[in-house]
Amino acid sequence: MSVADATESGTSTGTSGSSANGANTAVVGSNGVSVALIGLANAVRQGFVTVIVPTGTATSGNGLVVPLPTEILASAPTARSEVRVTQADGRPLPAWLRYSAEDHSLVLGAVPDGAYPLRLLVTVGNQQTVLQISEAATK
């Protein structure tokens, strides 16, 4: 899913502006998940993406699918660069979270209480992007 453009599957309900380097773009999906690309990775710096999930996700037991911004994949040095997703400290993903290589998305199962915020590291080729998943603030 492109953060800058609506998806063909109709999961996008809104977008905001982007800069020349793909930074500061956001999309809110029909499932209430907001994905914002703050900055793209390059040879000298990590990229950063924030994901805001609806309040109550950690207690509802419902799963969510969070697509990775296509800009992260497109910025890789080669088209066939391997995509790896780990916790920010390099540990494997928790059992309730998996990366789907087929559609380049994160699949969250029943999220345990206290799991958010969660920082992940998405590595594409030699470029790294920190992805932070947080729950929406309560009103």
- The pLDDT-based confidence of 43 (bands split at 50, 70, 90) is confident
Domains in the chain, start-ordered, CATH in brackets?
Answer: 12-135 (2.60.40.10)
- The pLDDT-based confidence of 57 (bands split at 50, 70, 90) is confident
Between CA 52 and CA 32 the distance in angstroms is 8
Helix-strand-coil percent breakdown of the chain, rounded to 5? 5, 40, 55
- The pLDDT-based confidence of 120 (bands split at 50, 70, 90) is very high
How is the beta sheet containing 105-108 ordered, strand by strand? 64-67, 105-108, 97-100
39-61 burial: b if 16+ Cβ within 10 Å, else e? bbbeeeeebbbbbbbeeebbeee
Full-prediction pTM beyond 0.85?
no
